[in-house]
Amino acid sequence: MKSGLSFLVGALRCEIDELEQLARTSELVATIGRLVHALQRERGISNVLLASRGQRFVAQRDAQIAECLRQEQAVRLAFDQLDAADGRIGNGARLFSRIAWVLPGMDALSGLRQRIGALEIDAAQSTAAFGKLIAGLIAVVFEAADGATDPEISRLLVALFNFMQGKEFAGQERACGAAAFASGRNDGARQQQWLHLIASQEHCFELFADFAAPGLAEVWGSVQAAAQLAELERLRRIACAAPAGVALDSELSQAWFDCCTRRIDAMQAVEERLAADLRRLCLHKTTQARSELQAHQALLASLQGGNGTETADFFLDAPAAPDAPAGGAPYGRQLERSILDMVQEQSRRLQAMGDELDTVRAALNERKLVERAKGLLMAHRRIREEEAHKMLRQTAMNQGRRLVEVAESVLAMAEYLPVDKAP
């Protein structure tokens, strides 16, 4: 018959398996982050090319496409290394579904690039196409965070996910401004979209700061140079405060692109730091668990060598005998108590981990509620995602409520909101 210690050893093996899987997932997340960064830059360059009718950023685009292809190959290799038949992967069903959705988008990049090179689409269509693929890649990161079972690792993944999301809004702002300055014009709709992107960045970076270690939040603050932020705000005011229809200086497209790129590159450095911290944490926890496993296995081997333990006093907390040798007897009641203590300590640790994980998961669940509410509004009002998100945020500000509370109210009214159908 197996003892309680045997199952404690089994629990540690399961924990090590989960940590090793989280380590592989963390490597995948870092690789995806590099591809997203490359695609964000290609999107901004493509918008300048399109808005200038092929007059600007031709060479830069060619070089960036080559970089994107390198990063895309790394992501495909990382996907190939995942075992789709492994049922042990946390949140595997949704994670694999996201990957299955992303791969056709990556396959379609070649056709998108041909259309951009031939000036067959405009900047808005290019932005939407790149944004769709990038959103899919970031969704893979979200599922990785949602499937994490260790609270410390989960917190880092949630911080990383929100930072990547904020960086994507910054990338969209770069693309939006690049198109506006390069074309020499702006309009009310684009200005409103621009302001929405700025507010969305701030929200994501606030969530990042909530979940990241204090040192990481300080790193993010330190890489934002005051002069760089001042230049960014100056260019934002030129484009967003000008009356609709007033011409913009097209020569500012280079200054805008460069200013945003320096900021986004600084974000990438923080993102790489986050990913490195995540890998180190996974390695530390795995090493710690392996050491504990070895100690438990040695103890189990000694018990299986013929040295039994007394279990009659399992429910008693009797003190050790007065004549017990220093350090306690190696076998008998003292050993049984030490094993029981180990089991109880493991139970307390798992309970604490579960409580902490519930706190982290709450942030992920809030995002799911907001996404569902946006989807409902998009279907009911036949509006774009950013318009639905802006509607939820505006309602929250007007009513002094949290965004998730407004999302819950919208979802509660789902049956009373018939979906409009196209004529």
> Residue ranges per domain, the chain?
9-286
User: Over the stretch 238-263, which tens digit does the pLDDT of each residue have?
Assistant: 888 777 777 888 888 889 999 999 99
User: pLDDT at position 112, please?
Assistant: 96
Q: Taking a C-beta distance cutoff of 8 angstroms, is the pair 160, 145 a contact? A: yes
- Residue 293's Cα: distance from chain center in Å? 31
Q: What is the average per-residue pLDDT within 375-401?
A: 78
Q: Is the pLDDT of residue 311 over 50?
A: no
- Angle formed at CA 111 by CA 72 and CA 187, multiple of 5 degrees: 95
* Banded model confidence at residue 328, pLDDT cuts 50, 70, 90: very low
Q: Is the pLDDT of residue 139 over 60?
A: yes
Q: Taking a C-beta distance cutoff of 8 angstroms, is the pair 174, 261 a contact? A: yes
User: pLDDT at position 242, please?
Assistant: 74
Q: Is the pLDDT of residue 421 over 50?
A: no
Sign of CA dihedral 276, 279, 284, 287: negative
* Banded model confidence at residue 315, pLDDT cuts 50, 70, 90: very low
Q: What is the average per-residue pLDDT within 266-271?
A: 90
User: pLDDT at position 279, please?
Assistant: 85
Residue 81: strand, helix, or coil: helix
Lookup: tokens for 182: 């390069």
User: pLDDT at position 295, please?
Assistant: 78
User: What pTM does this model have?
Assistant: 0.71
